[in-house]
Each structure stands twice: as C-alpha cells, then as structure tokens.
Structure 1
Amino acid sequence: MIGIIAGKSDVHAAGVAAQLRALGSEPVLLDTGHVPTQVRVTSRHSVEEPWRATWVEPGDSGEVVTDLTALRAVWWRRPQHHELHPELTTEADRRFAYQEVDAAVRGIWSCTDAVWVNDPDRDLAGSRKLHQLKVAAELGLRIPRTCATTDPAQARAFLAAEPAGAIYKPFLGTEEAWAETRLVEAVDVANLGHLRFAPVIFQELVPGGLDIRVTVVGRDVHAAEIRAHESSYEFDFRMDQAHASIHRHELPGPLVDRLHALMDRFGLLYGAIDLRRAPDGDYVFLEVNPAGQFLFVEYATGQPITGSMARLLQSLDRGDGVPAPVLPAARGSRSVAGSDGTRASHRAPLR
C-alpha cells in the first residue's frame, strides 16, 4: 500500500495520487493535521503477536480504517501540524499534548516497514543548509563562499572581503516571518549588531541571475533554468516568478553524478536542488530542499515530474526498488569517484 503524508488540499499530493490511480494503484492520504481531533491512531505491541497499528478517520459512509502495517511506500510530502482539541486551554497543557501526539505519530512511522520518500529523520537531517554545503564541497561541487554567524565582527570581515557584493538569507524562516534572499546593502551592514538575536547566512554574490532548479526523483533528474534576471528581482526568483521565464536545461553528466552522490550521502530519494550558473559557465550549488515544490517547473517545461514520483512510489510498493531513469543522462565524462573508488580530491569545473 502507498501512503501520502500531506494535507487534503495539497495539489502536489493530489496530482501524484491521480497518476498512481492511472497506473492501477490506490494510495491513501494521511493528514497528520487531523490527529487527534478527527483521526484516532493506535499502535499495539506484544511478544505474542506482530506489531499492529491503525489510522481511523471519518468517511462519507462511516469510519475508514487504514491498516498502517500494510504500508510499503510512503511519500513524506508535507506533514501538517497537529490540530489540538479546543478543550485544552492552558499553554502548558497544549504544549504537553502536542509533544505527546507528535511522539506517537512519529513513533508509528518508525515502526512501518515502508520505504519513505523521504525517510522523516533523513529528511530533517538533509535539510540542514550548513551540512549541505560541507558535503557538497566534499563531493566536488562548487559552493559559494559562506559565513553563517551570530558574530557582527565576523560578518563585517566577511563582507569586507567580498567587494563584488554579497547576499544574505535565513536558515529556515516561518510563515509569519518569511524572508527572501536579499542583497547586502549599506543599511544591512549598519544593522549587523542585530545578529546577536539570531544567526544569518551570508554568501558571496554569484551574478548573472540564472537559477537552475534540479528536481531529483529516484534516479530521474529534471533540470530547468529560471531566468531571474528577466524579473524585477534577480536575487530570488520567488519574488517575481511571473516574469522569470522557465525553460528546460541540460546538465553536464559529471554534475548529474555529483548531485546523485549528494542525494545518496543524505539518503534522500527526492530533492529540489537549487544551483546558480556563474558568469564563467560553471554551476554553483546553493541548497537542496528535501520537500521542495515542483509543479511550477512541470507546468512551465512539460517535464513529467509528477509521473516520476508516481512511478517511484509504485515501484517501491511492489518491492522492485528505485526504477532506472526513463531518459538516462549521457555519460561521456568521468564520475565523482576515481577508478579505485575514492572521491576526486579536486573539483573540476562543471560547464
């Protein structure tokens, strides 16, 4: 059985579910936001019987019971925050209840024998931006010079060494305090004292305004160039996406190899990787989002990313493993590893 962890209104989840039905599979949508107000979960353990777990929720004609032990492939698409009962009124009670609900649900996920896209623990570990940069550099990917700090003096020294300019961005942000990637300006330098409240990521400015979004699904790679320089804000295409045209992009074979190596290192089967094309034609790794959006790329370029996800989940559900790429990238150049299996010690430009 295939499970999709997402909210009921998630369009990505709905699209993949429709593709799965067309392929002959019937996925179940599990909305963690409905636990415990609308969904009842139970996990039973004993030495006499195998582990059992159920997910019970209201349906159109009575209760629907899902046997969670039957899960064989699960897409960790977009788990929702648990909605607590309104009868819990004190902050202490609500905080305790939320932690207990979350611990129970996550414990159940860990008990399943399913293959996850992505495993929740690996998804969390793989989302750490600083670790991504360290691993990317180790694998021979070009990364921007970076300083993440709470120290105003360190930030000031880093920015002084970047005469061509620098950008800054948050680690995560929230829905209430979302912030785009911004160019460091004089007023920002004057406000570096605010770093004592929270750290900031500073990076060298990679000019050109050509962003590359690489959506990796299993071994399928869908690359698109986002021409941010055509928009009103070249430092973050999300600010004016309507005017940043999106086109298919062909990646060099060695770069594809290194991106697969990055995903393998983190144990991720899905990831939306952001690169930037430098003026010299080389590719600069920025970050990977283990749960990034992909429909905007699919709509603009026609690349079958939804189909790739459905095909991956169905293959995992059947026990066939990760399917081979539908359109394998050309491999006329060396891979990341040498003939003795060791990683290359020097990064070659990936143009």
Structure 2
Amino acid sequence: MDDSRSVLVLTNPYDVTADVVLRILCERRIPVVRLDPGADLHAGAALTATYRTGEQRGTLRTASRELDTTRVRSVWVRRPSPYGPPPWLSDQVHRFAADQALWGAGGILASLSGARYVNHPWNNRAAEFKPSQLSTAQRCGFLVPDTVITNDPKEAREFITSYHGGVVYKPLWNTPYRVDDQPHSIWVREVHGAEITDAVSVCPHMFQTKVDKAFDVRVTAVADRLFGVRIDSPDLDWRHRQDLMTCAPVEVPKSVARAVAAYLAELRLIYGAFDFAVTASGDWYFFECNPNGQWAWQPAETTAAVAVAIADQLEKGPCT
C-alpha cells in the first residue's frame, strides 16, 4: 500500500468511536494502520526505529500492514491501552518491561517527524492537569468559577463557608475506584463545611463555587470548527445519569469561540472537548477541557459533523 498516505490510529480494539472516522477515511481511500501499542507490541506487532547522523528510519509491522513510520501522514491518538508488559512475565521484570514500553515505543510513536498529530500525546498529557486548564482558561478570556485546590482542611473549610451560593467538590483525575469490589464513579457533588475533616490532608482536593446554571454545554472543537450541544439534565453532574439528559445543537457565542481558539493555540491542541455551564443571563462559565474527550454520544448530526472534521484533519498530512 502507499504508506506515504497512511494515517496511524492509536487506539484499543473496542473503540467503536474510532470506527466512525475510519469509515470516512476508507470512503476517501486514505490508507489506515490501526495499532494498540500497549497491547499489540507483545502480541505479534513489531516497532523499530533507527537513528544515525542525518538519518532517521522506522518500521511498524502488524498482522496486516508494514509501515514506513517516517512517511506517516498523520497520527490520531484516540484511546490506546496503557503500556504494559506481556502477561507471562514474572513480577520481577513486570515493571521494568512496562516502563521500557512506555519510554521506548511511546517515545517512537510520539516522534514521527512531520506527521500531523490529533493530538500529540505529550500535549494531551500536559492539557489534562486541571490547574493548568484553569490557569489557561483565565488567560484566554473565559469566565471561571472561583476555585481552590488544597490539601489544607482549614483552607477548604474557609473557602466553602465563605460562599452562600454553594460549593461543589470535583476530583482532579478520574482514578478507577471500587466500593465493595464494584466499580464506583466519583461525581461532582455539593459539599458543606461540616463535611471537611483532616482526611483532606491526604491529597489535594478541588472545590469550586456552584454556578447557578440554566443548562450545560459541550463544545467539541476540531481546529477552527466548533460544535456546540446544549445539555439539559436533572443532575448537577450530567454524566451521572445520561439516560435522563436531553441534547440539542446550540450556537457558540463569538466571545467563547475566540477564547476556545486561544486555548487550543496555547496548549497546542487540535481537538478539545470543552464543558461549560450557562446561566439564565447568558454567561458561559468554563469548567474544563478534555483534550481527548468522547464525542460520539452527541446528537447524530453533531456526531457525524465531528467525525468529518476529524477525518479532514487526519487527511491533511504532514505539518508544514
């Protein structure tokens, strides 16, 4: 196949969202190589990179493809599995092999010269830190709810009791959590000063003033194309019971669109999933931007438009 035109998609085999875009690329006759580096590289796939003065070469071999990695058109970093060791290794070398996979294969796949990344994995990681998101949002002109991130119980308690409109707690990272050996999600919820104990000192916690919102909005940004969806839900956190929410396309105000463009540029992102709360008076408050957020759950016309926009970026080819 003409691998100079190939798109490399890094994702797990169960990622049906990726399939939506891959069908479009197939219709456009754009060759695609799909790889889950965290699993495939110890299940038959092989990745090699060679570096010499003035020269760089590389090859990726999968069950169905052989790809010259120096001629990749673009890389879509979707939802690859975490880098891990082969399951048959002993505990003694388990961590060593996992680290070598991350820093070796991960480094190769993040260093394909000239390829367009959507998004670059290092930019994704940097953009996932909530403090960085809030700081960047402020500089880019978004309205941001008053927020404190602290492991000091006294600071947390004083922040909560100083706001009569309510304060919510949000985890800084969605760590897998189990209760009675069952998967458990930690949703955004309102919190009161009396609930704050010395347990807060164990790790940083994020507390944020409760926005008196009329509805939520998800804005999916693909470069300069924005897709806004209004979300009406009976819950403070609309993710909690998605079967109860309703969605409809909504126009993104120009001031918000300008701030989104500035945010993407500062964090060097092509794709971003922005979450806002909109008040009755029309103020849009920035909550977060997931640099690799899901998007195929939105209304069919929005999902289709986002898929086309992503395919367009992947088709563009090497950065100039």
What is the match of residue 22 of structure 1? 27
Relative to 1, partners in 2 of residues 1:31 and 1:207: Cα closer, same or farther, differing over 3 Å?
A: same
What is the match of residue 43 of structure 2? 37
RMSD: 1.8
What is the match of residue 222 of structure 2? 217
SS at match of 1:16: helix
SS at match of 1:295: coil
CA contact (8 A) 1:225 1:248 kept: yes
Matches within 5 A, 1:136-215: 136-176=137-177, 178-185=185-192, 189-208=194-213, 210-215=215-220
The alignment's TM-score, normalised by the length of structure 2, stands at 0.90
- In 1, Cα distance between the equivalents of 2:291 and 2:85? 27
Relative to 1, partners in 2 of residues 1:31 and 1:303: Cα closer, same or farther, differing over 3 Å?
A: closer
What is the match of residue 58 of structure 2? 53
Relative to 1, partners in 2 of residues 1:147 and 1:100: Cα closer, same or farther, differing over 3 Å?
A: same
CA contact (8 A) 1:17 1:27 kept: yes
- In 1, Cα distance between the equivalents of 2:287 and 2:195? 26
The C-alpha deviation readout for 1:273-331, integer Å capped at 9, x for no partner, is 0011023220000110000000011437565111110011112x166x7xxxxxxxxxx
What is the match of residue 328 of structure 1? none
Matches within 5 A, 1:306-321: 306-315=307-316, 317=317
What is the match of residue 68 of structure 2? 67
What is the match of residue 77 of structure 1? 78
The C-alpha deviation readout for 1:255-285, integer Å capped at 9, x for no partner, is 1011111111100000000011023220000
What is the match of residue 133 of structure 2? 132
Deviates more, 1:260-269 or 1:130-139: 130-139
What is the match of residue 3 of structure 2? none
Relative to 1, partners in 2 of residues 1:301 and 1:134: Cα closer, same or farther, differing over 3 Å?
A: same
Give the share of equivalent positions with the same residue, in percent.
27
Higher strand share: 2
Aligned AA for 1:93?
Answer: V
Q: Does 1:11 align with 2:12?
A: no
SS at match of 2:109: helix
The C-alpha deviation readout for 1:193-230, integer Å capped at 9, x for no partner, is 211222111000012351110000011100001012xx
- In 2, Cα distance between the equivalents of 1:115 and 1:72? 7
Deviates more, 1:259-268 or 1:79-88: 79-88
- In 2, Cα distance between the equivalents of 1:243 and 1:136? 30
Deviates more, 1:296-305 or 1:95-104: 296-305
Relative to 1, partners in 2 of residues 1:282 and 1:254: Cα closer, same or farther, differing over 3 Å?
A: same
CA contact (8 A) 1:3 1:29 kept: yes
What is the match of residue 329 of structure 1? none
Unaligned runs of 5+ in 2: 1-5, 179-184
Shift of the alpha carbon at 1:84? 2.0
What is the match of residue 108 of structure 1? 108
SS at match of 1:144: coil
CA contact (8 A) 1:43 1:51 kept: yes
- In 1, Cα distance between the equivalents of 2:62 and 2:310? 26
SS at match of 1:311: helix
Aligned AA for 2:14?
Answer: S
Relative to 1, partners in 2 of residues 1:292 and 1:236: Cα closer, same or farther, differing over 3 Å?
A: same
Q: Does 1:99 align with 2:106?
A: no
Unaligned runs of 5+ in 1: 322-351
- In 1, Cα distance between the equivalents of 2:139 and 2:87? 49
- In 1, Cα distance between the equivalents of 2:280 and 2:135? 23
Q: Does 1:279 align with 2:280?
A: yes
The C-alpha deviation readout for 1:97-117, integer Å capped at 9, x for no partner, is 100111111221233121111
Length, aligned pairs only: 307
CA contact (8 A) 1:117 1:269 kept: yes
Shift of the alpha carbon at 1:36? 2.5
What is the match of residue 262 of structure 1? 263
Shift of the alpha carbon at 1:191? 4.0
